[in-house]
Structure 1
Amino acid sequence: MVALTFLTRVDCHLCETAREAVAEAVAGRDVKVTEIDIDTDDDLSGQYGWDVPVVLLDGRQHSFHRVDADRLSRAIEALGA
């Protein structure tokens, strides 16, 4: 199983678009998606600030600001999901 962490914040239009790309990329795959609002975590807010949305795959940053569903899908496939 691949762990995908999706870092967002409220009222983020890029996050809404990225959420759709993430959903497309993980559909039918063995991926556990965890969405976190960075404004609820001081460490994440300090680390990522205005760089949301951010996608982490197994703890490593895959993308930020814009999420390309095809690129994300290939990365998930490469990790075995």
Structure 2
Amino acid sequence: MIEDQPRRLSLLTRTQCHLCEAARDVVSRVASDMHLDWEEQSVDDDPALAERFGEEIPVLFVDGVQRDFWQIDEARLRRILRDK
């Protein structure tokens, strides 16, 4: 990865998921603090993603690599993003 390239954060969620709500809050807070954009995608809209990740939702990807699931740890996410 190019040193100055911003990290890409992507969160897989589903509707009516309390863990997804908590994960959304963590990712939003960390991304805001670190001036990063992030995206959210629902597995409800993609049967292939639902089949692959359905038991792990929410799932966090950093630069396309799965880094966390179920409960997104804020301190761990901050470490991952700092250790670019």
Q: What TM-score do the two structures reach when normalised by structure 1?
A: 0.89
Query: Is residue 9 of structure 1 aligned with residue 41 of structure 2?
Result: no
Identity value in percent: 34
Distance in 2 separating the partners of 1:16 and 1:6: 11
> Cα offset for 1:42?
1.5
Q: What TM-score do the two structures reach when normalised by structure 2?
A: 0.86
Aligned residues: CA RMSD: 1.1
Greater relative contact order, per chain length (Cα 8 Å cut-off, separation 6+): 1
Larger gyration radius, structure 1 or structure 2? 2
Number of equivalenced pairs: 79
SS at match of 2:38: strand
User: Which runs of no fewer than 5 residues in structure 1 stay unpaired?
Assistant: none
Question: Which structure has greater strand proportion?
Answer: 1
User: Which runs of no fewer than 5 residues in structure 2 stay unpaired?
Assistant: 1-5
> Cα offset for 1:32?
2.5
Moved over 3 A (4+): none
